[in-house]
Structure 1
Amino acid sequence: MPGARPEHTSPPQTETRYILHEDGALFRFTLQGGTEPPPLPDGAQWVTQAAYEEARAAMQERHEAQVAGRQAAEAATQRAHFDALLAAGNAEATARALSGYAGPVTDPSDR
């Protein structure tokens, strides 16, 4: 009808829910208004946003520690290969190219 006001509709309400699985997996999803949450899989539980964020932060810290550990192990391996290549009589540039080591040479006689 001309001149009629359109109905005002509000955006659908949403609800964010959080799940923590017994294996440490985290899930976050948003439900649209009136939607029932899915059934929880075995070993999973609903958690609060605070518990989810805490578990997520702990997961991130573990990940960063693992990455740092792998990087340190890789650096040590590169240095060991570099030292072995130098000890075998290779030039420093060759030892660096073959080992991937980019750190300092601590013993001037290594050159």
Structure 2
Amino acid sequence: MASYITDIAVSLNQAEEQNLQARGFKKINVSLNPGGNPVHIWYKKNPEADPITRIQVSFEDGMCDGLINAGYTKVNRNLSTGGEVFLWYFSSSTEFDTNIVRSRCLHQH
């Protein structure tokens, strides 16, 4: 059985990175904030949980209500220093969803 990504998190500093690593998360080693403070996405695979099938980003309050109503889970770490930008994910296993997997290209520079 394939192992799909089931949890995602975001780190904004070294202490958060250490915490996520200790909890079994793996870092995607590309910063979302090149040239500034590193912002990394982390993921975990749990064969007993529904896979993540959709990822969204919110950048204004009105978007949050829609994502909550649609069943998305918010990663509660602001990705921006200039405003509020949040990552959201949706977990499902219907015939219409495609499971998100880690790509080999994420390790290329």
TM-score (norm 2): 0.23
Which structure ranks higher in relative contact order (CA pairs < 8 Å, sequence separation ≥ 6)? 2
Counting helix residues as a fraction of each chain, which structure ranks higher? 1
TM-score (norm 1): 0.22
Counting strand residues as a fraction of each chain, which structure ranks higher? 2
